[in-house]
Structure 1
Amino acid sequence: MRALLSGYYGKGNGGDEALLATLLQMLPPDVTPVVLSGNPQETQNRYGVEAYERMSFLAVIQALRSCDALIWGGGSLIQDATSAVSPFYYGSMMTLAQKMGLKTVAWAQGIGPLERSVTRWLARRTFAGCTKVSVRDRASAALLSDWQIPHILAPDPVWALESKPVPGFWDLPAPRVAVTLRSHPQLTPARLANLTRALVAFQKATQTFIVLLPFQKAQDLSIAQAIQPAIKDASQILSLEDPQLLKGVFRGVEMAIGMRLHSLIMAASEGCRCFALSYDPKVNRLMEDLDMPGWNLVNLPDDPNAISKTWIEHYANGDPLSSEKIQFLVDRALIHREVLYAALGKN
């Protein structure tokens, strides 16, 4: 059996690459993956899979014709908050696959926000036609329940991604704190300046080494480069492309301060204390599920001292998830693997 994997792959986003790596890890061994990617050559080289250009209509049609199943590969693909085009791209492909008679799996989805009635209609119709549906959060599950669409709820599959040790990482000074910020309208220059001043004060008070970890170079690297000179010798920018290495960073980190959902999931799964800076409902859902401290960016304190004191308190007295809780979440995340086996007719 050949399965076409469709997601925001090959675009340099560590979270989406982590979802792809986990999906490949969870696929039944006798299923051949074919990946639609923004950078097919890179995807082919990194994962050793057949890959095609995701925006080439001809390549997509040919790939669909050569496959027996289409898997929507995780993440917030069906939402119209950041892009009105995204739900139509994925929804149209899924509809086409269903008309062609392929098995279709909506895998580990985070649905919404869906602010337009037309995208809600498209999403409802498309999910209803799927062979199997799994979602990663309660809000998505509630939406599908309202639509009376059968589904399975389990934690984000990246909880179960196998991490790899990062060569040379343990040579960096310890203890270490990882920081992952991304460009976003809510991260205004004033807020970034306050976060930078707070980070300087936090570093001086804790004598930690700050690892600035861009998850998507196009959006994150310039922010890391703006912060780094303020901390100079007590920090380093670490750019990694392999999602298993990205997750491996958090093996050697005491605390993570993150905007990106998957930076927080990776950190929590490796036993780090986590502090969230939320720009999106999906981050708030994680904060609620794990009782994770943090702020919505729009409510970030104006006083850098208030920010740094909160971080220092969490660094000194906050608790990471217990090993039992982490194992529970990993085991639950593996339900997404069972969905694949059930949908693709494997025992």
Structure 2
Amino acid sequence: MRVLLSGYYGKGNGGDEALLATLLQMLPPSVTPVVLSGNPEETNSRYGVEACDRMAPFTVLQALRSCDAFIWGGGSLIQDTTSAVSPFYYGLIMTLAQKMGLKTIAWGQGIGPLRRSVTRWLAQQNFGGCTKVSVRDRASAALLTDWQIPFILAPDPVWALQSKPVPGLWDLPAPRVAVTLRNHPQLTQTRLANLTRALVDFQKATQTFILLLPFQKSEDLEIAQAIQPQLKDVSKILCLEEPELLKGVFRGVEMAIGMRLHSLIMAASEGCRCFALSYDPKVNRLMEDVDMPGWDLANLPDDPNFISTTWMEHYANGDPLSAEKIQYLVDRALIHREVLREALIDD
């Protein structure tokens, strides 16, 4: 069986690449994946799978015709806040797959926000036509319940991603703290300056080594480069492309301060203390689900001293998730694997 995988793949985003890596780990062995990618050569090289250009209409149509099933592969694909185009792109391909009679699966989805009536209608039609649907949070589940569409609810699939050790990580000074910030309108120059000042004070007080971890170079690297001169000799920018290695970083880190959802999921799943800086409802949902401390960026305290003191308190006295809680979340995340098996094999 050939299965076409669609997501924000091949665009250099560590979280979306982690979703793809997890999906490939969870697919039944008898399935041959074909990936729609923004960089087919890189996707082919990294994962050893067939890949084609996600933005070439004729190529996408050919790929659909060559496959038996189609999967929306995880993440916030169906939302209209980051881009009004996104739900139409993914929705059109899903509609084509359903019209062509392919089995269709919405896998590990975080639905919304959907602010426009037309995108809500399209999403309802698409999800309603799926063979199987799995979602990663309660807000998405509530939306599908309103639409009377059957679904499975389980934690984000990346909880179950198998990590790899990072060569050279243990040669860096310890203890280590990882920081993942991304470009966003809410991360104003003033807020970035306050976070940087707080990070400098935090480092001095704790004598930690700061790992600046860009999850998407195009969005994160410039910010890391702006921060690092303030942390001369006590920090390192670590650029990793392979999602299993990105997750492996958190094996050797005492605490993570992060904006990106999957940086926080990876860190928490490796037993790391986490402090969230939320720019999106999906991060707030994670904070609620696992009782993770943090601030909405829009409400970030404007006193760097208060920020650094809060981080120090969490570093000294905060608790990571227990081994039992992590195992529970990993086991629950593996339900997404069962969804794939039931849709692709058992049916």
Query: Could you say which TM-score interval applies, normalised by the shorter chain?
Result: over 0.9
d(CA) in 1 for partners of 2:298 and 2:96? 40
Which residue identity lines up with residue 3 of structure 2 in the other structure?
Answer: A
The question of 1:321 aligning with 2:321 is answered yes
d(CA) in 1 for partners of 2:345 and 2:285? 32
The answer to whether the Cα contact below 8 Å between 1:41 and 1:51 also exists between their aligned partners in 2 is yes
Extract structure 1 runs of 4+ deviating beyond 6 A.
none
Quote the residue 2:95 is aligned against: 95
The question of 1:310 aligning with 2:310 is answered yes
Quote the residue 1:83 is aligned against: 83
Alignment of 1:112-123 (within 5 A): 112-123=112-123
Shift of 1:303: 0.5
d(CA) in 2 for partners of 1:83 and 1:56? 19
Quote the residue 2:187 is aligned against: 187
Quote the residue 2:219 is aligned against: 219
SS at match of 1:344: helix
Quote the residue 2:169 is aligned against: 169
Q: Deviations over 1:93-118 (max 9, x none)?
A: 00000000000000000000000000
Q: Deviations over 1:20-57 (max 9, x none)?
A: 00000000000000000000000000000000000000
d(CA) in 1 for partners of 2:13 and 2:44? 16
Quote the residue 1:51 is aligned against: 51
Alignment of 1:1-347 (within 5 A): 1-346=1-346
d(CA) in 1 for partners of 2:345 and 2:304? 55
Shift of 1:9: 0.1
Shift of 1:218: 0.2
SS at match of 2:119: helix
For structure 1, the 5+ residue unaligned runs are: none
Shift of 1:123: 0.2
Shift of 1:62: 0.4
SS at match of 2:233: helix
d(CA) in 2 for partners of 1:130 and 1:144? 12
SS at match of 1:345: helix
- TM (norm. structure 1) is 1.00
SS at match of 2:345: coil
> What is the aligned length?
347
SS at match of 2:274: strand
Which residue identity lines up with residue 327 of structure 1 in the other structure?
Answer: Q
For structure 2, the 5+ residue unaligned runs are: none
Identity across matched positions, percent:
84
Q: Deviations over 1:275-311 (max 9, x none)?
A: 0000000000000001100000010000000000000
The answer to whether the Cα contact below 8 Å between 1:28 and 1:346 also exists between their aligned partners in 2 is no
d(CA) in 1 for partners of 2:50 and 2:311? 44
d(CA) in 1 for partners of 2:33 and 2:14? 20
The answer to whether the Cα contact below 8 Å between 1:183 and 1:223 also exists between their aligned partners in 2 is yes
Q: Deviations over 1:250-290 (max 9, x none)?
A: 00000000000000000000000000000000000000001
How large is the Cα RMSD of the aligned pairs?
0.6
d(CA) in 1 for partners of 2:168 and 2:108? 33
SS at match of 1:182: coil
Shift of 1:345: 2.3
Which residue identity lines up with residue 169 of structure 2 in the other structure?
Answer: F
